[in-house]
């Protein structure tokens, strides 16, 4: 389902991309070309179909190249790598700045000219080069969007993540190809297109602000994994408030970027977009002062407490939350052995929460499912919860490091230790992943579950574990 969602998200982005100033003006040229073919008595369906398929092949080819260059394991590992996430942050800032119009992002003109020359011939090959011309001419607009897709989909927490660049580009290109297919098949649709104008550049600039906002998600991932503590939740939200306000002012014409035109009239659509930006800013202000923002929980950093939680285990107190408190004030653990020891003392079952600092679905589960009153009561009263961050970069003492055959790497960090535990015992490296077991490591419910946004189903899973734990031997 995550791949299907990814496809439709990128499909919507492809539809938006058509309205950008580097692509929208190409529609009349496409229609003119196919009008000439129609006047010569050619059947438009085969050529329009070949043109659309060529667009898809070109963009999917980019996704395939990324897949072959990085591979599944590399993408999964890179998704939580600090250096790589900082690189993605700067890449998205670069792409966002290009969309804002701070500089132009263009391919060399000789590439464009050579490809355009080959598009004037006949046959399927000319249609392919015509599609290639669309791709390279529109690169100044689509380049940042494509770059955004490729750098963001690499972080999908799934064994299938080698497919994500291909699926992302397939969704994006299918939308573009579908629109141009309709124009190629029905050339008279040109008369129904709105006229070009300042609205084209406004969409481009708005996407630039959005891409800048998403960039900070990757900086936050690195910050959390390495405990740099440079991007607090409040600072993150404050940056989003600023970007949202600037976007609203830009649409209003009060804050102009280099390629913006002077607005003499604000239509209803633009006025509605301005109000939406300011409303979103006010909504973020609510979260700035500590209130939950459930719809954005997967993107925002969690609330961090600098206090050290203590719990008596045996005869001595031990730290179990050096950096984070559990969501919703759940008294849990962040160390597997300590949690297991405590669960045996209090005779309670364990909930193993394999999670990640950069895991979007993990935050959604905590915000939308763990917050359910019935679920939260069971977690607090009936389970010993242990959150195991598989992407945590805290170094293990040298005497605790070892070689993992299943991960094919040396385990040098806390995150890799927990990832090895998950892979070796449960044959999975996806997050979130919830395992119910007893203190003697007997599984209570099989198989474990992953993302389950239906709180009632998740509650039923927890209750099934309790029933199994309390069942007489």
Q: What is the mean pLDDT of residues 114-123?
A: 51
Say how many C-beta atoms besides its own lie within 10 A of residue 310's C-beta: 11
- Whether 281 maps to a domain, the answer reads no
Residue 351: pLDDT over 80: yes
The count of structural domains within the chain is 2
Arithmetic mean of pLDDT over the chain:
77
- Whether 88 maps to a domain, the answer reads yes
- 333/462 same-domain check: yes
- Whether 248 maps to a domain, the answer reads no
- Whether 288 maps to a domain, the answer reads no
What confidence score (pLDDT) does residue 311 get?
A: 44
- 192/315 same-domain check: no
Say how many C-beta atoms besides its own lie within 10 A of residue 110's C-beta: 8
- Whether 403 maps to a domain, the answer reads yes
What confidence score (pLDDT) does residue 144 get?
A: 57
Residue 417: pLDDT over 60: yes
Q: Which domain holds residue 24?
A: 2-196
The answer to whether 321 touches 302, Cβ cutoff 8 Å, is no
- 64/189 same-domain check: yes
- 192/314 same-domain check: no
Residue 395: pLDDT over 80: yes
Residue 242: pLDDT over 90: yes
Which two structure tokens, joined as six digits, stand for 101? 């119009």
**What confidence category does residue 193 fall into, taking pLDDT thresholds of 50, 70 and 90?**
low
Residue 215: pLDDT over 60: yes
**What confidence category does residue 259 fall into, taking pLDDT thresholds of 50, 70 and 90?**
confident
Give me the CATH number covering residue 461.
Answer: 3.40.30.10
Which two structure tokens, joined as six digits, stand for 120? 């004037």
Q: What is the mean pLDDT of residues 150-166?
A: 55
Q: Which of 439, 417, 297 is nearest to 369 (CA)?
A: 297
What confidence score (pLDDT) does residue 138 get?
A: 60
For residue 413, the 8-state DSSP code is B
- 51/188 same-domain check: yes
- Whether 219 maps to a domain, the answer reads no
Q: Which of 146, 167, 196 is the last residue of a domain?
A: 196
What confidence score (pLDDT) does residue 316 get?
A: 39
- Whether 358 maps to a domain, the answer reads yes
pTM for this one?
A: 0.62
Q: What is the mean pLDDT of residues 215-229?
A: 81
**What confidence category does residue 119 fall into, taking pLDDT thresholds of 50, 70 and 90?**
very low
- 190/65 same-domain check: yes
Residue with tokens 């102009």: 256
Higher pLDDT pick, 150 / 180: 180
Q: Which of 176, 196, 216 is the last residue of a domain?
A: 196
Q: What is the pLDDT of residues 435-466, one digit of tens each?
A: 999 999 999 999 999 888 899 999 999 999 99
Q: Which of 196, 224, 239 is the last residue of a domain?
A: 196
What confidence score (pLDDT) does residue 206 get?
A: 86
* Distances, alpha carbon 183 to alpha carbons 84, 177, 179, 226, in Å: 41, 10, 7, 50
- 176/323 same-domain check: no
- Whether 155 maps to a domain, the answer reads yes
């Amino acid at each position: 389902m995550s791949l299907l969602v990814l496809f439709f998200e990128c499909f919507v982005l492809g539809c938006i991309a058509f309205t950008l100033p580097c692509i929208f003006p190409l529609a009349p040229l496409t229609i003119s070309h196919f009008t000439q073919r129609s006047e010569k008595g050619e059947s438009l369906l085969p050529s329009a179909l070949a043109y659309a398929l060529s667009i898809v092949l070109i963009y999917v080819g980019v996704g395939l190249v990324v897949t072959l260059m990085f591979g599944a394991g590399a993408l999964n590992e890179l998704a939580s790598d600090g250096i790589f996430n900082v690189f993605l942050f700067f890449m998205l800032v670069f792409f966002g700045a290009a969309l804002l119009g701070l500089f132009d992002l263009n391919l060399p003109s000789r590439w464009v000219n050579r490809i355009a020359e080959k598009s004037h011939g006949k046959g399927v090959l000319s249609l392919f080069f015509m599609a290639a011309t669309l791709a390279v001419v529109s690169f100044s607009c689509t380049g940042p969007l494509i770059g955004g897709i490729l750098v963001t989909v690499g972080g999908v927490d799934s064994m299938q993540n080698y497919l994500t660049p291909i699926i992302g580009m397939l969704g994006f290109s299918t939308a573009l190809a579908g629109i141009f297919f309709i124009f190629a098949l029905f050339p008279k649709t040109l008369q129904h297109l709105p006229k070009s104008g300042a609205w084209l550049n406004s969409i481009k600039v708005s996407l630039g602000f959005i891409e800048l906002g998403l960039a900070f998600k990757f900086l936050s991932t690195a910050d959390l994994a390495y405990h740099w503590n440079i991007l607090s939740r409040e600072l993150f939200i404050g940056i989003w408030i600023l970007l949202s306000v600037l976007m609203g002012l830009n649409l209003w014409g009060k804050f102009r970027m280099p390629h913006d035109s002077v607005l003499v009239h604000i239509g209803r659509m633009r006025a509605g977009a301005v109000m939406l930006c300011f409303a979103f800013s006010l909504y973020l202000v609510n979260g700035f002062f500590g209130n939950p923002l459930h719809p954005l929980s997967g993107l925002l950093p969690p609330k961090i407490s600098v206090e050290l939680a203590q719990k008596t285990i045996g005869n001595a107190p031990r730290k179990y939350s050096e950096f984070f408190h559990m969501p919703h004030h759940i008294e849990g653990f962040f160390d597997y052995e300590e949690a297991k020891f405590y669960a045996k003392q209090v005779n309670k079952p364990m909930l193993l929460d394999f999670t990640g600092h950069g895991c979007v679905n993990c935050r959604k589960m905590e915000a939308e499912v763990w917050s359910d009153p019935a679920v939260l009561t069971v977690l607090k009263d009936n389970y010993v919860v242990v959150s195991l961050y598989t992407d945590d970069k805290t170094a293990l003492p040298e005497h605790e490091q070892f070689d993992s055959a299943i991960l094919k790497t040396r385990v040098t960090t806390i995150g890799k230790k927990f990832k090895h535990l998950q892979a070796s015992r449960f044959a999975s490296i996806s997050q979130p992943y919830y395992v119910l077991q007893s203190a003697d490591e007997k599984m209570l419910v099989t198989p474990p579950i992953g993302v389950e946004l239906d709180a009632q189903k998740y509650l039923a899973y927890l209750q099934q574990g309790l029933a199994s734990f309390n069942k007489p031997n």
